[in-house]
Every structure is written in structure tokens, then in C-alpha cells.
Amino acid sequence: MSSQRPQPPGRWPSRAIRLAVRALPPGPTRDRYRYEFLAELYGMSSTRQMRHAAHLLSRSLLLRAAVNRERQSSTLELIMPVVAPRKRLLCRLNVRHKWVRRLNPDREVYLQCRHCGKDLYDVERSTWPNLGGNVAGLRGGI
């Protein structure tokens, strides 16, 4: 009585599969496909293993194209494009802000820029030269 144990992948089919997955980008994707294809060989006759490995090898470039296409357009990127918030140039240089009145938690009024969110108090305290505001005594200095 012969036992029907699953036959492990043969030497040449294993090599053919390793060669086939080399077309894929290195890393976890390649490893996953290699393990998957090797697992498919278990239980096949040696002739069938060779035929299956040759088929995978002949399709390796198509598989690479499919994997690369999948990597390029991730669903998350399509749904949520990442856009860096941009500040107006006039705000970044502290040349001009659009001040609006706001209330702090203590119900005190302060001025905040509508575009960049800076407080007037912080802008006046900043050490960066204020090109459009309090230079040369325009705001009551000197």
C-alpha cells in the first residue's frame, strides 16, 4: 500500500519559480508570490510541476505589469489626495495679513489672520523683520 503524501516541489520547478518572481519588484510582494507559487506545486506530479512552473515563468512579465499597475494607483491615494497646506506669500513674509476679530476662551478680543491663523500679538513679538509693518517706526516706534 502506497501512501499519498503531497510531493514537495522539485528542484527545477522551484528554480523556474524563483526565476519567474525575479521579474517582480524586490521585497514583500516578490516574497509573497514566491511562497504562493511554491505552495501551488505541492501535491502535483513532477511533470505537472514542470508544466505549471513553465507556465508561470512565461507569464512573469505580465504579472510584473499587473503588480506595477496596482502599486501605482492605490485606492487611498485616489480617495484622499495629499495636498500640503499653503500659506499666502504675504503671510509667510509677514508683509500683510487679513486681521479678523476673535474671542479667546476668556471672552477677550484678539486679532487673528484669516488666511494663516497667526495672532497679531505673535507677529508683533516675532524677531523676523516685518517688512510691511512695524519697521522704522511706522507702528509708533523710534
Which residues of the shown chain bind Zn ion in the complex (CB under 5 A)? 91, 97, 113, 115-116
CB of 67 to Zn ion, least distance (A): 46
d(CA 133, CA 62) in angstroms, rounded, equals 63
d(CA 60, CA 24) in angstroms, rounded, equals 8
Q: What share of the chain is helix, strand, coil (3-state, %, to 5)?
A: 50, 10, 45
Of 34 and 118, nearer to Zn ion (C-beta) is 118
Of 30 and 99, nearer to Zn ion (C-beta) is 99
CB of 134 to Zn ion, least distance (A): 15
CB of 28 to Zn ion, least distance (A): 45
From 138, 140, 102, select the one nearest 120 (Cα to Cα). Answer: 102
Of 32 and 86, nearer to Zn ion (C-beta) is 86
